[in-house]
Amino acid sequence: MTALPRMMPAHDIPAPRFETERMIIRGPEGRDFDAVCAFAKDAERTKYIGGPAASDFDVWGGFCRAIGHWIWNGYGFLTLEEKATGQAVGRIGMLNHVGWPEPELGWHMFAAGEGRGLAYEAALAIRAYAARDLGLDRVISPIHPDNIRSRALAERLGAVVERESELLGEPCLIYRHPSVQEAAA
């Protein structure tokens, strides 16, 4: 991998840090770049989110945009760090990019994090955090219709298809998540 320029310390990013049974959920850090780079260059894992990055520089741009999202919006992708190994196994968080219809609960699982229920565990925690601390309840997850694994996760989380739409020129299903605040009442 390409040597990274000096990264801003994690404490300067306004990201929360919390834990689930198996993970530390935290803001992005420079040490995550190699895992993000491997994910971003994997054609199979990225086929529903714009395809693989062509270079380390392209990944770097996306990595920096993720940090900028925190600065601009006060929320963004959080890194899922497996407690047992210290390995970054995915990213899940709240996104609201330019052109998005409204805030999204989104996820990217790296190869090491797939098929173990980690995305579900983290998504529940982050969805609760978003409702409680950010006032983002009943959020959406735009998912490509062919992305069966993401659709299955959304449905396991209790989200239902609200409508068909398009995002960045690609078809998507807008899944609507249930209210966390109503369930807690």
Domain residue spans in the chain? 10-135
**Local confidence pLDDT in tens for the 185 residues of the chain:** 555 555 544 446 789 999 999 999 999 998 999 999 999 999 999 998 889 999 999 999 999 999 899 999 999 999 999 999 999 999 999 999 998 999 999 999 999 999 999 999 999 999 999 999 999 999 999 999 999 999 999 999 999 999 999 999 999 999 999 999 888 76
Cα–Cα distance measured from residue 49 to residue 47, given in angstroms and rounded to the nearest whole number: 6
Architecture of domain 10-135: 3-Layer(aba) Sandwich (3.40)
Question: Nearest 5°: phi and psi at 102?
Answer: -175, 175
CA-CA-CA-CA dihedral for 41, 45, 48, 49, to nearest 10: -50
